[in-house]
Structure 1
Amino acid sequence: MSSTTTLHDIDLPARVKQEAARRRTFAIISHPDAGKSTLTEALALHAAAIVRAGAVHGKHGRQGVTSDWLEMERARGISITSSALQFTVGDVHINMLDTPGHADFSEDTYRVLAAVDCAVMLLDAAKGLEPQTLKLFEVCRARRIPVITFVNKWDRPGLEPLALLDEIHARLGLETVPVTWPVGVAGDFRGVVDRRTGGMVEYERTPGGVTLAREQDLSPEEAVARHGEDWVRAREEHELLALTAEEDRDAFLRGESTPVLFGAAVLNMGVGALLDLLVDTAPAPAPWPLIDGGARELDAPFSGFVFKVQAGMDTAHRDRLAFVRVCSGRFERGMPLVHAATGRPFVSKYAQSVFGRERHTVDEAYPGDIVGLVNAAALRVGDTLYDGPPVTFPPVPRFSPEHFRVARVADAGRSKQFRRGITQLDEEGVVQVCHSDARGSASPVLAAVGPMQFEVVSHRMASEFNAPIRLEALPYEIARRPVPEVVGDVTRAIGAEVLERTDGTLMAVFRDKWRLATIERDLPPGSLRPLFGEEHVAP
């Protein structure tokens, strides 16, 4: 019996399985500007978790979206860090993760995808599949995460719906299963054909789209009387597709097919059908893979892994929050746990559920839930926490960086704050921090997937740590992991350098692919290897 199990919990394994079956944990992924944060807000609105939706740009007097809480996010109108929103729909507990809206923050998105059971792939009706969407889908495929597709912005001119489905099938190899079908061309959105009833759901806009769009169910006869040829065309296209697309949930769970819905998130149209599909069809938590190839069963003692660490969410307290995905068992606030990386005990006294920037104390949680542990200074991204028999989950791979800057404190009197800030941002995974013998510890090298990460570092160093920094660009764009025997050779080469990441990983960086090829030609085969995870998830 676990140290946290009491006599009245003899049926705890059954209860854990029952509670896990009520969980839906998913992420929303898309190319920038597809409307991801707006959809996040619209889903929360349909679930009655909020009263009025916010718009990223504050149009019509609306405030910033709930999930975008950093000052830079509100100023730029994009998500630059992932966030969690948790609420209930009927008897189902939703854990919804909004992901960064820019390719420069792909690492943060990947960490979120390591913690979910399903993904909603958001497409812009006018643009279809875009580069960042394709890359994120490949991550989902590699992790075997089922995908639901939501075609957004149908209230604006866009592509033909059949063309969009053909593109998904041709470029992603997925069978498309339309759950709804638009009535009216893109830019003249009347409503959708409802596959479940064969009738039409008609939408009526509300002022500014800050409240739910009015919906009315129409019979086929009522639909043809009110919408004429638009309804007839939509129904014929839908019936044609229904003959060729079989509704196979197993194929969806295997990642072979994707349900498709149409809507306009900014007007809250078509979002209710998506929420219903997530509740009814998205997978509940399953046994979680272990580093040794096995799996942690849902009813095993508590275990969870840290997929994100974030500071600065509460400027009044300047605390740090570790986001933990519960993988098995029941979490109880205050329960004694073990930190797998160190073998030391970890007390979970300050545990919270998260809704954007808002937080509330949580007393218990079950597989699929996201728990925020406050001031968990010892925790890092990828760490495992457990109760009972030891368990370790696979680490979260880090992307291969393509941009490098030397960081120096602007005011030597702020050196202590500089070191503390750089260390914290490294632990959060905002950038990868490296050092070299040539520069010393006072001038770390920051390595990033995209240049916007450096803007976040500069902003946070100045605003949170009162230690403004100067950044000097380095002429490197490719990184490899050298075997120890060739470190000296690479160091002496022109147009290359060897850095050491704070996790101990050696990183050889090169000016460009041609310089890499020239240096590699003089080294033993296999001396320069891809960085961990690069071959699978590099952006």
Structure 2
Amino acid sequence: MKYEKEISRRRTFAIISHPDAGKTTLTEKLLLFGGAIQVAGAVKSNKIKKHATSDFMEIERQRGISVATSVMSFEYKDVLINLLDTPGHKDFAEDTYRTLTAVDSVILVIDSVNGVEEQTRRLMEVCRMRDTPVIVFVNKMDRDGKYPFDLLDEIEKELNISLHPLSWPINMGKEFKGVYSLYDKSLNLFTASQKATEDNTVPIPNLADKLLDEKVGERDAQQLREDVELLEGVYGELDTEAYLGGKVAPVFFGSAVNNFGVKELLDTFIRIAPLPLGRATDKRFIEPTEDKFTGFIFKIHANLDPRHRDRIAFLRVCSGKFERNKYFHHTRIDKDVRFSNPYSFLAREKDVIEEAYPGDVVGLFDTGNFKIGDTLTEGEMMQFTGIPTFSPELFKELVNKDPMKTKQLEKGIRQLTDEGVAQLFTQHGGNRKIIGCVGELQFEVIQYRLLQEYGASCAFVPLAFYKACWITGDKKAIDDFVRFKQSNVMEDKDGNLVYLAQSEWFLNTERQNNPKIEFHTTSEFKTAMQN
């Protein structure tokens, strides 16, 4: 329990949403409140040269979307907040899924105009798999959208989670006047031009107070009183335990771009969000209060700074204390490693740190030793679990357009696939390379980054495969299978055999014909094999 004080002041969470719901804008406003940045970037504006702080790759700044998870740390009211801004685009869902393994809670952004969208459902399914505590932020209340009560019904029904409003909007669209915090009984009136650092909170412990009529007008004051009476009758007090168990999601309303409702969200978040939580390993459950250090790699990013060919592995500290220049044990390769320049991040800005505690995310310079899911300890041999690789949905053969740059292409594709943006399959006993992705946009990003960062020009040829399955089982049965299905058997980056099935029918047929072979659609089988 040595580090209890440090653990108690940390909150680590991810912001998730459907594309264009305003996730990156909300991230920027939270950073403004924390004093981490002075000017918010304009994600999609051509007029403003300052780009969104959390979008650090050139292609993100060109397209106005996030395609990689960004890590940002800042302090707010003596609480150290580790914020992970994830890609909203469905083609980068796997990066988001892995990021959710490294956080303790989530803020889900929903567009009040469009309501619940497809990607929102998929992300919530992942949160539910882990019972991750969720806070909902209903954004864009300054636009004419769905009626707040209708939105609550839609979210509960579509996402299969109970809601509990902790703030309530006064009108919407052009008539939007602000939000009333049900949590601390205060009215927040903002104007569109207001800076995040200005505080315009009016405490109204009693809604019968005439001050409310003065501030928002009689008609709106009366409507707010009726709405709050109904809400308090239906929802009552927030059950914090139900929220921490992932059963109830507090809801806030606002407009991130105009700073409506963001402060209420942040103030309440630091009060109710979970402290750093424990994690499961293949040997035992690790509690954050344990004295000895443990942590795992959940993300790798090559060429964070294009001027230096660096490669950063992002480590989530799970227990004990991480220290600069101290030797830790890399359990997969059974080797001791130390780090002279570990970093904390504010997107592209990096600061060398001396120590880190449970909940913190540390950037480690990596010379190629790390893969996603790798575990560091103070000597204990174990591996953190629950960081799977899923079967891709699209497959394309990688074609080298410039034979003079073969080495650069080889290095580039290996490093990019180590990041987890795609999966690399090499023909068993041959040189043919196949890239597997979740969505088309990933191929575009890979092609762009290979050219920009490695000087390697490539093309992709679509292939008609249905699914990639890792195969395990009886050695002789596998050897025979590989011999007969040579053109469909590949190796992944770790040398595991993978069968690429042309269709569901082919996969089912092979399962029936080969009872001694197991076909796995996620890499979780590796954990089962280790146990």
* TM, length-normalised to structure 2: 0.92
Task: Name the CA distance, whole Å, in 1 between partners of 2:309 and 2:251.
Answer: 42
Counterpart contact for 2:397–2:463, Cα < 8 Å: yes
Task: Name the CA distance, whole Å, in 1 between partners of 2:54 and 2:484.
Answer: 48
Q: Which residue of 2 aligns with 1:6?
A: none
Task: Name the CA distance, whole Å, in 2 between partners of 1:444 and 1:493.
Answer: 17
Q: Which residue of 2 aligns with 1:3?
A: none
Do the aligned partners of residues 105 and 491 (structure 1) sit closer, same or farther apart at CA in structure 2, a change above 3 Å counting?
farther
Q: Which residue of 1 aligns with 2:82?
A: 95
Q: Which residue of 2 aligns with 1:8?
A: none
Q: Which residue of 2 aligns with 1:259?
A: 250
The Cα of 1:227 is off from its aligned counterpart by 2.8
Q: Which residue of 1 aligns with 2:118?
A: 131
The Cα of 1:520 is off from its aligned counterpart by 4.8
2:200 to 194, 215, 220: 215
The Cα of 1:63 is off from its aligned counterpart by 1.5
The Cα of 1:516 is off from its aligned counterpart by 3.8
- Equivalent residues in 2 for 1:212-251 (5 A)? 215-217=200-202, 219=204, 220=207, 221-225=210-214, 226-245=216-235, 246-251=237-242
Counterpart contact for 2:390–2:521, Cα < 8 Å: no
2:44 to 50, 57, 78: 57
1:348 and 2:333 correspond: no
Deviations 1:323-354 (A, max 9, x none): 10111111111111110111111011111110
Q: Which residue of 2 aligns with 1:79?
A: 66
Counterpart contact for 1:120–1:147, Cα < 8 Å: yes
Task: Name the CA distance, whole Å, in 2 between partners of 1:106 and 1:141.
Answer: 16
> Per the alignment, in what secondary structure is the counterpart of residue 190 of structure 2?
strand
Task: Name the CA distance, whole Å, in 1 between partners of 2:478 and 2:451.
Answer: 39
Q: Which residue of 2 aligns with 1:481?
A: 470
Q: Which residue of 2 aligns with 1:372?
A: 363
Q: How many residues align?
A: 516
Task: Name the CA distance, whole Å, in 2 between partners of 1:213 and 1:111.
Answer: 36
Task: Name the CA distance, whole Å, in 2 between partners of 1:196 and 1:297.
Answer: 29
Task: Name the CA distance, whole Å, in 2 between partners of 1:472 and 1:260.
Answer: 46
- Equivalent residues in 2 for 1:139-158 (5 A)? 139-158=126-145
Do the aligned partners of residues 491 and 267 (structure 1) sit closer, same or farther apart at CA in structure 2, a change above 3 Å counting?
farther
Amino acid at match of 1:350: N
The Cα of 1:493 is off from its aligned counterpart by 7.1
> Per the alignment, in what secondary structure is the counterpart of residue 488 of structure 2?
strand
Q: Which residue of 2 aligns with 1:361?
A: 352
Do the aligned partners of residues 299 and 276 (structure 1) sit closer, same or farther apart at CA in structure 2, a change above 3 Å counting?
same
Amino acid at match of 2:150: A
Q: Which residue of 2 aligns with 1:465?
A: 454
Task: Name the CA distance, whole Å, in 2 between partners of 1:472 and 1:177.
Answer: 49
Task: Name the CA distance, whole Å, in 1 between partners of 2:124 and 2:406.
Answer: 42
- Equivalent residues in 2 for 1:294-305 (5 A)? 294-305=285-296
Amino acid at match of 2:324: R
The Cα of 1:497 is off from its aligned counterpart by 2.1
Counterpart contact for 1:203–1:213, Cα < 8 Å: no
Gaps spanning 5+ residues in structure 2: where? 526-531
- Equivalent residues in 2 for 1:393-432 (5 A)? 393-394=384-385, 396-432=387-423
1:281 and 2:272 correspond: yes
1:173 to 160, 170, 185: 160
Q: Which residue of 2 aligns with 1:24?
A: 11
Q: Which residue of 1 aligns with 2:503?
A: 512
Deviations 1:274-302 (A, max 9, x none): 11122111111133222224224423211
Counterpart contact for 2:112–2:139, Cα < 8 Å: yes
Q: Which residue of 1 aligns with 2:425?
A: 434
The Cα of 1:18 is off from its aligned counterpart by 0.9
Amino acid at match of 2:371: R
Gaps spanning 5+ residues in structure 1: where? 1-12, 535-539
1:292 and 2:277 correspond: no
The Cα of 1:416 is off from its aligned counterpart by 1.1
Amino acid at match of 1:21: S
Task: Name the CA distance, whole Å, in 2 between partners of 1:232 and 1:58.
Answer: 39
> Per the alignment, in what secondary structure is the counterpart of residue 532 of structure 1?
coil
Counterpart contact for 2:91–2:441, Cα < 8 Å: yes
Task: Name the CA distance, whole Å, in 1 between partners of 2:225 and 2:295.
Answer: 47
The Cα of 1:320 is off from its aligned counterpart by 0.8
> Per the alignment, in what secondary structure is the counterpart of residue 457 of structure 1?
helix
The Cα of 1:527 is off from its aligned counterpart by 4.6
Q: Which residue of 2 aligns with 1:203?
A: 190
Do the aligned partners of residues 450 and 111 (structure 1) sit closer, same or farther apart at CA in structure 2, a change above 3 Å counting?
same
> Per the alignment, in what secondary structure is the counterpart of residue 242 of structure 1?
helix
Q: Which residue of 2 aligns with 1:314?
A: 305
Q: Which residue of 2 aligns with 1:4?
A: none
Amino acid at match of 1:426: T
> Per the alignment, in what secondary structure is the counterpart of residue 425 of structure 1?
helix
Using the aligned pairs only, state the percent identity. Answer: 39
Do the aligned partners of residues 62 and 480 (structure 1) sit closer, same or farther apart at CA in structure 2, a change above 3 Å counting?
same
* TM, length-normalised to structure 1: 0.90
Counterpart contact for 1:290–1:296, Cα < 8 Å: no
Q: Which residue of 1 aligns with 2:325?
A: 334
Task: Name the CA distance, whole Å, in 1 between partners of 2:280 and 2:289.
Answer: 11
The Cα of 1:238 is off from its aligned counterpart by 2.3
Amino acid at match of 2:453: E
> Per the alignment, in what secondary structure is the counterpart of residue 175 of structure 2?
coil
Amino acid at match of 1:365: A
Q: Which residue of 2 aligns with 1:444?
A: 433
Q: Which residue of 2 aligns with 1:9?
A: none
Task: Name the CA distance, whole Å, in 2 between partners of 1:487 and 1:237.
Answer: 68
After superposing the two structures, state which structure 1 stretch, 513-522 or 60-69, moved more.
Answer: 513-522
Deviations 1:234-288 (A, max 9, x none): 3312221112213110000011101100011111211111111221111111332
Counterpart contact for 1:113–1:140, Cα < 8 Å: yes
- Equivalent residues in 2 for 1:4-19 (5 A)? 13-14=1-2, 16-19=3-6
Q: Which residue of 2 aligns with 1:537?
A: none
1:501 to 463, 479, 492: 492
> Per the alignment, in what secondary structure is the counterpart of residue 454 of structure 2?
coil
Q: Which residue of 1 aligns with 2:529?
A: none
Amino acid at match of 2:123: L
The Cα of 1:408 is off from its aligned counterpart by 2.2
Do the aligned partners of residues 204 and 218 (structure 1) sit closer, same or farther apart at CA in structure 2, a change above 3 Å counting?
farther
> Per the alignment, in what secondary structure is the counterpart of residue 61 of structure 1?
coil
Task: Name the CA distance, whole Å, in 2 between partners of 1:242 and 1:491.
Answer: 68
> Per the alignment, in what secondary structure is the counterpart of residue 445 of structure 2?
helix
The Cα of 1:436 is off from its aligned counterpart by 1.2
Task: Name the CA distance, whole Å, in 2 between partners of 1:341 and 1:521.
Answer: 34
